[in-house]
Amino acid sequence: MIRSLRAVSRLGARGFSSFAAARQENTTVGTTYQEELDVVNQLKGSVTADDVTRLARMRNIGISAHIDSGKTTFSERILFYTGRTKEIHEVRGKDGVGAKMDHMDLEREKGITIQSAATYATWIKENQDYHFNVIDTPGHIDFTIEVERALRVLDGAVLVVCAVSGVQSQTMTVDRQMRRYNVPRVTFINKMDRMGADPWKAIDQINAKLKTRAAAIQVPIGSEGDLAGVVDIVKEVAYYNDGASGETIRVAEIPEDLKELVAEKRDLLIQTLADVDDEIAECYILEETPTEEQLRGAIRRATIARTFTPVLMGSALANRGVQPVLDAICEYLPDPSDVVNTALDIKKDETPVHLTPAAKAPFVGLAFKLEDGKYGQLTYLRVYQGQLKKGMSIINAKTGKKTKLARLVRMHSDEMEDVDSVGAGEICATFGVDCASGDTFTDGEVTYSMSSMFVPDPVISLAITPKDKGSLTNFSKAMNRFQKEDPTFRVHFDAESKETIISGMGELHLEIYVERMKREYNVVCETGKPQVAYRETITTAAPLDFTHKRQSGGAGQYARIIGEMSPVTDMNAVNEGKATFAAENIFKSEIVGGKIPEKFILACDRSFHETAEKGPLTGSRVLGVEMLINDGNTHVVDSSELAFKVATQRGFYETFMQCSPVILEPIMTVTLTAPVEFQGALIALMNKNQALISDQDIGSEEVTLSGECSLNQMFGFATHLRACTQGKGEFSLEFSHYAPCSPHLQKELVDAHQKKLQAERDGK
């Protein structure tokens, strides 16, 4: 109480109010983390001293960012400085080699990461070896599943942010993915050597846009082309990068002209940590200066608790400030024993079980990525518990299939290093395992299953046909392989149009797979016009009363269902912009007294969900519809499951058309970036595509526009953007929500669907 009164007198009413609010907010987060910490300490008590020592020096990290923020360039420096590669290769490098982590020809040609790549490296810090499992992930939203599955199995991450552009659209997407899997991160502000670099603006954006408390633990020495190194705010020393590739770190005193700025940023760091850490809050209230050890401990605790992110800065391309990030990974990100990993015990009604990162515990691992290599299917595994050894047998928890491991490898991009065993907390790969991405494996001693990663629904489709009918075998092989590798890539055969339809996350996504078919399977394909994944729904309720009768001699068919069809979504909230359309369909039964037998109700339920896969307007999937059956009739002889199934299907179609049906189209979040002189051209282009501009960020060199636009308007957008910005503009798309399309477009889509059905009936 005395300390609180002192705090009021020192901070003033306004200062204490905001401070107290921040502490109160942290209490909720801290309670959750405290529960995790209790579990972690309990699990650590059951592992051996050797396990604790081994795990303490291990880090599983991913590198994620917006497109072209420098992830792969940063990864190349990690490989070089840890001794994994002997020289640095650049993305689209002039030496013709290309970046090590971009091993596909398509990646090197386009200068983008398409598949996540894993590697294993060792970093020496304070005479101790730290072992890194590093996964470099794509930045383009079309390959978001690669980020999802990487973050699913990682313990920490490095979020790379451009010093010029700051927080961009995909940065926010990656932030959401990290939160989904509770992955703590350190932030690296890259491209500090570029003109217009402003790390303090980027930190403000991290706090404001990502809603994450962030503070710098470094101050740059020099700026833009004169960037020479960084000052460590915590240790209060300067680090300079010397040598041809910045491989030598020279430690020196803080330059005189930076001492005032360093003191200011150190105070800001302490204030930010006081909001999220009790020990620093105590020092802050008592006006004591925290020691270096106290600051380092607080940063680590708050980072692992996901209430704070330390911000480092430098330039990967200019070889400045990368080694301190490796030190920060060792110091502030969790090791595998600091993270709670949970599985479900299938034999005990899926009771949650905390996995112990001990070598002697029963083996539990997760297959998170599949690749088709020259030796067959390559399966990436994260070992959560126990030990994986060459020659041992593992069991797929989903299928029960047993497999003996003939080979175990650690990956270095597309290269492999054979190993005899892999311990808990590590990442490896193996061959000859028949599984799907997200399957759990055990040694048979336990029946555990782990949750898989989040897989978004595809938003775009197109028809695809091999030009040469003799290529059908290879075409089929390619389709099967790509579906197993990538859960967001879907393939189905449309029985009505007799076409193979592929679906994915965007034009680039499907374009890459068409190109891979040509290169890897020698199958040249013709593609149709991209089709938008429309949806259908209803906006009003209507009574349902349908009778199905059929008499053809002998036993006939009779079923009557009575009830109501209504929208799941609150249409008033949608119209006010406070809600989006519900994604699920709901079937309810309120039959009493056995008026319709239970087996017929189950048939109605199945028929409802099957019918909702193809709506009556355009044949698109129906969403957000609730069907209630509360009455009906049966016939002693003629009623059957088939009769009620048909009654449900026809009653659904008939009532659907009475409920003011609408066609929903996918709305995308679009972000455009171009030199500032093209600002007017970008606004005109957005208006032409009927986009709703929501944000505009004008920098010294670049302008960024964000908004929402119908996916239907975005086909061929890249060509228009290049034309109006002299090839200097970039854009990214991400699915946001479904919204009703215009009445004019709805009429066009319905008419086109009716013509298609008529043509099929006429045999054309």
Which value, in Å, is the radius of gyration of the alpha carbons in the chain?
29
Whether 727 has a binding-site annotation, put simply, is: no
3-state secondary structure of 116: coil
Q: Give the whole-angstrom CA distance, residue 618 versus residue 746.
A: 9
Per-residue 3-state assignment (H helix, E strand, C coil) for 508-520: HHHHHHHHHHHHH
Whether 111 has a binding-site annotation, put simply, is: no
Q: Which helix (H) or strand (E) holds 248?
A: strand 248-252
Half-sphere exposure of 261 (CA within 13 A, CB side): 16
Per-residue 3-state assignment (H helix, E strand, C coil) for 175-189: HHHHHHCCCCEEEEE
Q: Give the whole-angstrom CA distance, residue 472 versus residue 469.
A: 6
The phi, psi pair for 587, rounded to 5°, reads -115, 130
Whether 70 has a binding-site annotation, put simply, is: yes
| 93 to 80, 89, 192, 315, 385: CA distances (angstroms) | 16, 6, 21, 17, 41
Query: Other CB atoms closer than 10 Å to residue 232's CB: what's the count?
Result: 21
Whether 673 has a binding-site annotation, put simply, is: no
The phi, psi pair for 496, rounded to 5°, reads -75, -50
- Looking at residue 700, its amino acid is S
The phi, psi pair for 527, rounded to 5°, reads -120, 150
- Looking at residue 290, its amino acid is P
Q: How far is CA 186 from the centre of its chain?
A: 17
Ramachandran region, residue 432 (left: φ > 0; alpha: ψ -120 to 50; beta: rest): left
Contact 330, 130 (CB under 8 A): yes
Query: Other CB atoms closer than 10 Å to residue 399's CB: what's the count?
Result: 11
The 8-class DSSP code of residue 470 comes to: G
| 167 to 216, 708, 728: CA distances (angstroms) | 15, 18, 20
Strands (E), 362-444: 364-373, 376-385, 388-389, 393-396, 402-404, 408-412, 415-418, 421-422, 427-431, 440-442
Alpha-helix residue ranges (DSSP H) falling in 464-597 = 472-485, 507-521, 571-575
Residues 237-253 as b or e (16 or more Cβ within 10 Å = b):
ebbbbeeeebeebeeee
Whether 191 has a binding-site annotation, put simply, is: yes
Whether 65 has a binding-site annotation, put simply, is: yes
Contact 354, 342 (CB under 8 A): yes
Contact 96, 121 (CB under 8 A): no
Query: Other CB atoms closer than 10 Å to residue 263's CB: what's the count?
Result: 13
Whether 103 has a binding-site annotation, put simply, is: no
Q: Give the whole-angstrom CA distance, residue 518 versus residue 514.
A: 7
**Which two tokens mark 4?**
């609180």
- Looking at residue 594, its amino acid is G
Whether 401 has a binding-site annotation, put simply, is: no
**Which two tokens mark 508?**
């680039």
Lookup result for tokens 């420096």: 77
Whether 72 has a binding-site annotation, put simply, is: yes
Whether 545 has a binding-site annotation, put simply, is: no
- Looking at residue 134, its amino acid is V
Q: Give the whole-angstrom CA distance, residue 404 versus residue 642.
A: 46
The β-bridge partners of 156 are: 61
Whether 349 has a binding-site annotation, put simply, is: no
Name which of 320, 97, 280 is nearest 189 in CA terms.
Answer: 320
Whether 69 has a binding-site annotation, put simply, is: yes
Whether 356 has a binding-site annotation, put simply, is: no
Q: How far is CA 13 from the centre of its chain?
A: 42
Lookup result for tokens 């088709």: 372
- Looking at residue 405, its amino acid is L
Q: Give the whole-angstrom CA distance, residue 141 versus residue 459.
A: 12
| 678 to 4, 166, 593, 627: CA distances (angstroms) | 54, 19, 71, 51
Binding residues for GTP: 65-72, 136-140, 190-193
Binding residues: 65-72, 136-140, 190-193
